[in-house]
Structure 1
């Protein structure tokens, strides 16, 4: 009870210092604290700006009875990790996750993310579907690969082959029928129709296979490694013998260091010129518009566009559709230019990650 009183006092003091500080605790039947969630004003502001895609992970365990520490993280415009909220959990049941996700949304003015990445925890998935039914739930590719090695390597006769096959499913097969054909062919080749893990991961294909996740906004995030990277840095701030209150105080120190790093990136953005490899009006304008991290990604696409050719053009109603192909390659991409000058490509890179693709850059308009 003494630790609980100290913890509540700590949160109350934080709220007194800043009325925008949000925290909530869940109590059991004996009035003991079970789950705790909190988000300060910086987290809430960051979520308002960058919270379309969220990664949630409970890998890190505290020394307080090995309790799971959950963290909601995302990208900012410098492609650096930002924290949207944190939770100290009693357990990892569906009820606990339901309370946590509901509390998270309450803190964020009931604005649900467009997409969320988690591991394959069934209780987490159930709570996510109930609380955020319109959020696209994707699975961490890193966790899938690790589980594949544990459960399917013997069938594929080696870690490399199972990883190679799943990587192809995640990156190369864009059409559903193409993916389904490859999956069936794999089952036949390795006589794997009865493998329970492959059956279970196939049932979840809409959460990880490219033909399905290509229709969800991801901002370039593909897994929960943002959370895992954050957990790794947390270990350098938090010692194993810290109690709950000390844990939160040192967690605040980590947050302050991350915010200082963001200020440094903002300063560099204002006073340092971007590194421009090709001097064209489009590249120079992008360099003056984007942050360094986003500009670097754009410039990669621009450089790749030089190896693409316009191979066709048709009128489709009020739209103009250009066909673009890599030099000497038969596969074509369709770039559609609408009457209002908006543009889209069949590769959907802009719709998925917000980066203009090499095919759209090749558009002559």
Structure 2
């Protein structure tokens, strides 16, 4: 290029030789550059990969700087209308691809976006099937703007983690959480979870109390223990057993009176009667002590670990320079990976026989037929303890028999009530009430009464192989369809099982 310096200090171009120029990128490789960038691979590694695919850097036709500039130009173009407009454009496109895609946006007085909640069709179906227990966590921060990112998560029938919705928040104040929880209920047709687990955030707790009426609110045990170490670390030095004693208070006792007695012993033993943090924790005992939770279904969940697992996966893809639309794309990828894990678990369940340690016992065969492999393993673990259980006393004077059941070398005894004619079996251990599989004490009594199958009332559909079979009413023709709901990618597929 020829140029001349003019009097005003500017240059004037008078000649251009096109042969001296080169393309910033080969058009045929543009789609590859974008795919790699969407995958979260950093530009330097992406350039190296493209060079190997082309047989060497010299064959690419562009430099690392060109690669970087192209991506920067692409992102600037994507955000040409501003972050808010790009976000709404993204949501509009998702709604076009997925008519059930739902999003709610809150604006401030200046009509700027503050809080966002969204859920796709798959998340909505997942919540309808498995939204009985939910965890919610906002410990993850998205990018250099440090916005709180919240995930609603839960268990599927394979006990794999699934997502029910996600949010980007402006702050973590009570009003923001109230708006979010109301948006969550609106999206999920006002269906409230039975149980929700969070950390000890006071603003979040207040919002849950106001919005999720009737939902039991549990505290994440992992966060609780971390806070205990932070506030009471001085009590854990020199091989102290304080932490293990505290964990016993959390997990070990079934009866409330047992917990209260042991908690008082803990106070006296470590001289913490006046510790303000521990006293506040005691005031929240209904949210973390097992003996106060045995009337609430938790599905075995005691923490927000599911949400945090997803956060950890998301960190593998994100970096501080990401714009909001890129972040959403990476989140989609993480959710799709969770779904792929379920597809694999479903394939294995259909094509591999579960390991059966009691193949000659009918109730175990029955469990293997109805439960998913993961739940079957847990049921089989309970059954393996039946031989260690003993009937210490019994009262069969009425139709509802009563039995005292204990385990070898354990002083604790549990009361089991059973009416075979009405298929009733209940244990004071309350394993079924909290997890929805029968405990070894109840199974011992069923074995004693020669009951060979799990009573129908004690098979929770959410743990079964048929958990995704839903009964749907066609209002136009007034008939019921049994449908198997499956959701690969962003498309809902419904396979008719029976008409």
Matched with 2:306 is: 226
* Aligned counterpart for 2:195 among listed residues 105, 115, 137: 115
Matched with 2:171 is: 91
| Contact 1:64-1:243 within 8 A present in 2 as well | no
* Aligned positions of 1:228-267 closer than 5 A: 228-267=308-347
Cα separation, partners in 2 of 1:64 and 1:100, compared to 1, 3 Å:
farther
| 1:188 CA displacement | 2.0
| 1:155 CA displacement | 3.5
- Distance, in Å, in 2 between the alignment partners of 1:226 and 1:211 is 23
SS of match in other structure, 1:251: helix
Matched with 1:359 is: 441
* Aligned counterpart for 1:148 among listed residues 208, 228, 242: 228
Deviations, residues 48-75 of structure 1 (Å, cap 9, x unaligned): 1110000000011110510110000000
Q: Which runs of 5+ in 1 are unaligned?
A: none
SS of match in other structure, 2:311: helix
- Distance, in Å, in 1 between the alignment partners of 2:268 and 2:391 is 40
Q: How many residues align?
A: 365
Matched, 1:162 2:242: yes
* Aligned counterpart for 2:363 among listed residues 269, 282, 297: 282
TM-score of the two chains, using structure 2 as the length reference: 0.71
| Contact 1:156-1:190 within 8 A present in 2 as well | no
| 1:329 CA displacement | 3.4
- Distance, in Å, in 2 between the alignment partners of 1:257 and 1:175 is 41
* Aligned counterpart for 2:125 among listed residues 39, 45, 50: 45
- Distance, in Å, in 1 between the alignment partners of 2:165 and 2:233 is 37
Q: Which of structures 1 and 2 has the larger relative contact order (alpha carbons within 8 angstroms, sep 6+)?
A: 1
| 1:159 CA displacement | 8.1
| 1:189 CA displacement | 2.2
| 1:256 CA displacement | 1.4
Deviations, residues 140-190 of structure 1 (Å, cap 9, x unaligned): 000010000010121454686332122111111222222122222222222
Matched, 1:341 2:429: no
* Aligned positions of 1:16-55 closer than 5 A: 16-55=96-135
Matched with 2:186 is: 106
Cα separation, partners in 2 of 1:349 and 1:36, compared to 1, 3 Å:
same
* Aligned counterpart for 1:330 among listed residues 370, 395, 411: 411
- Distance, in Å, in 2 between the alignment partners of 1:29 and 1:42 is 33
| Contact 1:73-1:81 within 8 A present in 2 as well | yes
Question: Whose radius of gyration is greater, 1 or 2?
Answer: 2
* Aligned counterpart for 1:124 among listed residues 191, 194, 204: 204
Cα separation, partners in 2 of 1:158 and 1:49, compared to 1, 3 Å:
farther
| Contact 1:73-1:226 within 8 A present in 2 as well | yes
SS of match in other structure, 2:405: strand
SS of match in other structure, 1:126: helix
Matched, 1:310 2:391: yes
**Larger mean Cα displacement after TM superposition, 267-276 or 86-95:** 267-276
Deviations, residues 61-119 of structure 1 (Å, cap 9, x unaligned): 11051011000000001110000000011100000000000000111110000000000
* Aligned counterpart for 1:65 among listed residues 145, 149, 162: 145
Cα separation, partners in 2 of 1:275 and 1:111, compared to 1, 3 Å:
same
- Distance, in Å, in 1 between the alignment partners of 2:209 and 2:236 is 33
**Larger mean Cα displacement after TM superposition, 69-78 or 332-341:** 332-341
Deviations, residues 181-208 of structure 1 (Å, cap 9, x unaligned): 2222222222212211101101111100
| Contact 2:119-2:166 within 8 A present in 1 as well | yes
